[in-house]
Amino acid sequence: MQPVADIGNFALRMVADLGGFALLAGEVLRSLVSVRPSLRDLIYQLYSIGVKSQSVVLITGAFTGMVLCAQAFFQFQKVKMETGTLALVGVSMSSELGPVLTGLMVAGRVGAAMAAELGTMRVTEQVDALRTLATHPVDYLVVPRFLATLIAMPLLTIEAIAVGIGSAYVVGVHFLGIDAAYSWAHMLKYVGKSDIAMGMFKTLCFGMIIALVGCYKGLNCREGAEGVGHATTEAVVTASISILMSNFFLTLALRGLLE
Amino acid sequence: MIEVRDLKRSFGTHCVLDGVSFRIDAGEAVVIMGRSGGGKSVLLKHLVGLLSPDAGEVLVDGRNIANLGERQMLEVRSKFGVLFQGAALFDSLTVAENVGFALSRSGKCTPAEVANRVAEMLDMVELPGIQDKKPAELSGGMRKRVGLARAIVHRPAIVLYDEPTTGLDPVVSDSIDQLILRVCEQMKVTSIVVTHDMRSARRIGKRILYLRDRRIYLDAPTEAVFASTDPVVHRFVNGISIPKEITF
């Protein structure tokens, strides 16, 4: 009977978490329309989430673009279609790899930091202190992080896409000997506005997931250092899995809408 | 001013409070004492709406706050100041930002007014000139003092103290006691102190509520409690243990 009970408990926890996310999202929405967020807190979070994430996102984008270019080139070479390499990299980076890899990197760096910071505040009674000072934790802690993630994610994704394509161009043209003019022309021809729009919409969704999951796990973590550790791990795992799963459904839904 | 009626609270299957009732009038200095893990801090958190009871009522100025939503509670909480056990200062903010937090967030004061009020409060807790320090740079006693300055900066009507002298040496504990008495006298606030420090309880409290076995076992003036011949109260006040009763 134990395995059945474990599955039941897992299912109950999942439902409870989903309910918690929905309530937090509702509270964020309510705060956004009724309370003006502090500009100073927003700028601080933008720096912390956006500026400080740039290096990891740029490195990820660059090496993903390079390896994708090399792999695509080796396959296209067999059918004499080398000049399509950059087009494949462009479409992949714009609509899939750019947003997803940026989302995963930011989830690992920022989602974990949010859960750890808010979790520590919770276990040291700082969140309770905030409440006794007539301040709603969602207004002060969640909304600035949520808005900053929503602003930073598209910008980081654009950077990752641009660096990925640029790196692929360098590798393809200078190291693998692809014709520069044809490659560039093919890329411009096959990367459509719909690919860019899809990537931007996805990255906004991923930003919401990262901020809500990180803040929810932090604000609901169990007591002690172990609780904070669990919350941090769960935030990264939950956000990463949610990004990968939602990406599939977003691709299906948006492809139908945008084309 | 504050009335608790038949308050019940459990965590899972563990019942912490089971039918707690008492009343505290404006301006009173009341100590809630009881054994470690006996539910004192849980009771205190119910008074300011940080926890909701399973059953019963918590009346603040005649209004039942037991089932208010978080946003409705914000208005009620502006009547309270709370000094937490570990001071609960915000790590990322300076002392000045911590102390002035409630005033800055209210939007009713200019930055200059906030700065003046912060300086006034830090003078009151005998820590002038530490506005730019971070909480990590302060000792335990200093943190408690800054926590108290933050709790009273918006002139609340009721101040709650959660074990204000726990973890402090006797000299610093004495200074915190004196500070609590000074706040009580100068600001005419209602003080509710949770502690199991008998020396502090005797100095601060005019009345003691003794929490035992999930209920208020005794509600009496301080001197009556310390002179009590009830064996349970006598043992607690004098720190006499019975091995079979010890639960850590």
In a domain, B103, yes or no: yes
β-bridge pairing B207-212 and B29-34: parallel
Q: Which of A27, A123, A132, A142 to mutate to test the interface with B (most CBs of B within 10 A)?
A: A132
Q: State whether residue A37 sits within 8 Å of chain B by CB.
A: no
pLDDT higher than threshold 90 for residue A169: yes
CB contact under 8 A, B102 and A136: no
In a domain, B36, yes or no: no
What pLDDT sits at residue B54?
93
Residue pLDDT, tens place only, A116-162: 999 999 999 999 999 999 899 999 999 999 999 999 999 999 999 99
Closest CA to B105 of A135, A145, A143, A132: A135
CB contact under 8 A, B84 and A131: no
Domain count, chain A: 1
pTM: 0.88
pLDDT higher than threshold 70 for residue A205: yes
CB contact under 8 A, B105 and A133: yes
In a domain, B107, yes or no: yes
CB contact under 8 A, B84 and A128: yes
What pLDDT sits at residue B245?
60
In a domain, A99, yes or no: yes
Q: Which among B45, B74, B84 is the nearest to A134, CB-wise?
A: B74
Domain span holding position A184: 38-258
What pLDDT sits at residue B243?
67
Report helix, strand or coil for B31. Answer: strand
**Euclidean distance between CA atoms A56 and A106, whole angstroms:** 9
Question: B17: part of which helix (H) or strand (E)?
Answer: strand B14-24
Domain count, chain B: 1
Number of A:B CB contacts under 8 A? 57
In a domain, B162, yes or no: no
pLDDT of chain B, 248 residues: tens digit per residue: 899 999 999 998 899 999 999 999 998 999 999 888 888 999 999 999 999 999 999 999 989 998 888 888 988 999 999 999 889 999 999 999 999 999 998 888 899 999 999 999 999 888 898 999 999 999 988 999 999 999 999 999 999 999 988 888 888 888 889 989 988 888 889 999 998 888 889 999 999 999 988 999 999 999 999 988 888 888 888 888 776 665 55
The residue of chain A with its CA nearest to that of B160 is A132
What pLDDT sits at residue B185?
87
The residue of chain A with its CA nearest to that of B152 is A133
Q: Which among B78, B88, B151 is the nearest to A124, CB-wise?
A: B88
Instruction: List CB contacts (< 8 A) between B48 and chain A.
Output: 132
In a domain, A24, yes or no: no
CB contact under 8 A, A134 and B77: yes
In a domain, A76, yes or no: yes
Q: State whether residue A251 sits within 8 Å of chain B by CB.
A: no
CB contact under 8 A, B105 and A140: yes
In a domain, B105, yes or no: yes
What pLDDT sits at residue B107?
82
**Residue B73 corresponds to which tokens in the numbers above?**
């509670």
Q: Which residues pair with B230 in a beta bridge?
A: none
In a domain, A207, yes or no: yes
- Residue B106 amino acid letter: S
Domain span holding position B110: 89-155
Contact B135, B120 (CB under 8 A): no
pLDDT higher than threshold 80 for residue A186: yes
Residue pLDDT, tens place only, B164-218: 888 888 888 888 899 899 888 888 899 999 988 888 899 999 999 999 889 999 9
What pLDDT sits at residue B207?
94
Q: State whether residue A135 sits within 8 Å of chain B by CB.
A: yes
Distances (CA, A) of A59 to A63, A69, B54, B193, B209: 6, 15, 53, 55, 62
Q: State whether residue A31 sits within 8 Å of chain B by CB.
A: no
Give this complex's ipTM. 0.89
